[in-house]
Structure 1
């Protein structure tokens, strides 16, 4: 990671993850999809792609129709995007000034909500869990939505980066409150496959609730940069006016068109990763380590101090694994997060993690 040392072009200093250089470590920091079947499924998603279509600008309608058929929604209820972060930035730009209550943000959450260029122009209210659990996080969001002026209300389900996963009916209740108060609810369902059905989350979508689904997290398509936002037709029409879909490549659109053919097999991938996640958590807990519940494809290992978290991260890096030291992230102070990998790669990492935890101490 590199950090800009000065303010440039009138923009605030920000941390920049440099992806231009190759990293030889196994990436268990970004919550990419690690499963032995992912590559073969990805090949099937891009199978039949005709390179000749790259000569022309892509046409989105066939992909939107296929995504709609998969999600059970009309195509004009969907916005296609080159990644979910791009949708977040679009929302902050397109809806700026539309909500006097500003941004009511479940905390912690994705950095894009506070690092986008337009983010400083939004009044911000961060809503935190009182005890670091999914239940109190959901309750706090309900309370905040009930007494706020019309606002952009944001939750992620499961929560990234904390892993909070309240029952989906709690999110439906929040959606009802948001509708009654004139809010627009954003439900980021990027990790939904690891906690239930993305199709169930998509059912929440209407003109008062926009649901984001990430092909990077759930379908192993991080390099393809693809996400789908689901909402009511009026909301989607307004967002499409910014021509966000023009940034989605023809290859990504082709993969989206074929996702329905591999969807059932991906559900088994998600189930495998979920089972591996719980097995890893059980083993670490049996060794005396507190590992919070998570509904995503990741787990956290809390450390007693910042120095201990940094040392564990460094030792794993030296062993060839890139994990994430959560630093002072709200509710995750001194946590080290790692992506759950299914199969031999995950078993090898867990053995390495257990060994380094014993060396560092301080369970």
Structure 2
């Protein structure tokens, strides 16, 4: 029998958010995958339908229209961009290009579930630095974890699944102390939902530090999760390396067309984001009124740090027609969704005893 490389057997499985189980007499809600609950904008949908009509042709491997639109939006060169099937694909590309056996990747934990998977797939070793009690990156401890073997540091802001975001000043200080031959990846999948006094200015950090890489996606705020398109912004050398290891024709023509149309429709899209932020605030107010606590959420989700009670809340939510994302023995992440889902979750929390 032909065996895979040893580290392949060590790759942990990715556990996706599950759909809700049908409950008699109840409308069910999927709050397990941090999806945008709104349907596609009419203009974006029309553009996508036109692209579907040409599905017999290969997509533009160079993503020219998408790179042009992003370069204009961000004020960077098109040679500083690399697209992939969601920002998670860029994590794989980056670790493939820069890491191998004997190398280390420092990241917070609990953080994005795909980090340990991608690190192990690259053959590198992950160095997990625990988040603080309120779900934040411990940047001082992460700085201390950097060694001569470190090749990449991953910062997830807002942090998925715990919710808090990093501030610009603290990240700027952190990056200034990282060796220039270590890449600092700022994973900003939820940046459009951030409402804080000192949000991270990713492009400014990149201009000051060529070892900074920004990861962004159209899956969350833009509502294109089903089409899988994300991108990296980096120095021309790093972006070129990411494009070099990417699967040819990875981002479909339909996804590219939808992303370009979404960038042209940002005013309407971001009005929806404001609605979700307002719903997030209403959810947090309801959680607090019910006697529960969550870390400060800056994405489109909240985190319940429950430990052994994780399964209890997940099961109760399922019975109430709400699918949530449990992390066994750690906690439950709940996406911000429809107002009716917020009402039902808050009502459920009012019937359950909050953690001591």
Tell me the TM-score normalized by structure 2.
0.84
SS of equivalent residue, structure 1 residue 29: coil
2:25 aligns to what?
Answer: none
1:162-181 Cα shifts (integer Å, max 9, x gaps): 11212122222222222x44
Superposition deviation, residue 265 in structure 1: 2.4
Distance 1:62 1:96 in 2: 31
Residues 103-142 of structure 1 aligned to structure 2 (within 5 Å): 103-116=105-118, 118-119=120-121, 121-134=123-136, 137-142=138-143
Report the equivalent of 1:12. Answer: 9
Asked if the contact 1:158/1:191 (under 8 Å) is kept, the reply is: yes
Q: Which residue of 2 aligns with 1:72?
A: 75
Q: C-alpha distance in 2, partners of 1:288/1:84?
A: 36
Per the alignment, residue 190 of structure 1 pairs with: 189
**Structure 1, unpaired ranges of 5+:** 1-7
Query: Is the counterpart of residue 27 in structure 1 residue 23 in structure 2?
Result: no
Whole-Å separation in 2 of the counterparts to 1:21 and 1:108: 23
Q: Deviations over 1:257-316 (max 9, x none)?
A: 22321112222222222222122112221221112211110012344x52x331221122
Match of 2:166 in 1: 166
Whether contact under 8 Å (1:186, 1:211) holds in the other structure is: yes
1:133 deviation in Å?
4.4
Q: How far apart, CA to CA, are the structure 2 residues paired with 1:114 and 1:361?
A: 33
The answer to whether the Cα contact below 8 Å between 1:216 and 1:227 also exists between their aligned partners in 2 is yes
Match of residue 304 from structure 2: 301
SS, match of residue 295 in structure 2: coil
**More deviation in 56-65 or 257-266?**
257-266
Kept after mapping to 1: 8 A contact 2:294/2:305: yes
The aligned counterpart of 1:3 is: none
Q: Which runs of 4+ in 1 moved over 4 A?
A: 16-25, 147-150, 196-199
CA contact (8 A) 1:298 1:339 kept: yes
Shift in Å, 1:102 = 1.3
Residue pair 1:45, 1:262 contacting (<8 A) in 2 also: no
Equivalent pairs counted in the alignment come to 339
Partner of 2:239, secondary structure, is helix
| Counterparts in 2 of 1:325 and 1:97: CA distance versus 1, 3 Å | closer
State the Cα RMSD in Å.
Answer: 3.0
Tell me, yes or no, if the aligned pair for 2:262 and 2:269 is still in contact at 8 Å: no
For the residues of structure 1 that align with 2:351 and 2:17, how far apart are their CA atoms? 31
Is 1:225 equivalent to 2:223 in the alignment? no
Work out whether 1:355 is the aligned partner of 2:347: yes
More helix by share: 1
Aligned residue for 1:241, secondary structure, equals helix
C-alpha deviation, 1:124, in angstroms: 2.2
Bigger RCO of structures 1 and 2 (CA < 8 A, at least 6 apart): 2
Aligned-residue offset at 1:336: 2.0
- In structure 2, the residue matched to 1:102 is 104
Q: Is the 8 A contact 1:324 1:336 kept in 2?
A: yes
Judge conservation of contact 1:79–1:245 (CA < 8 Å) in 2.
no
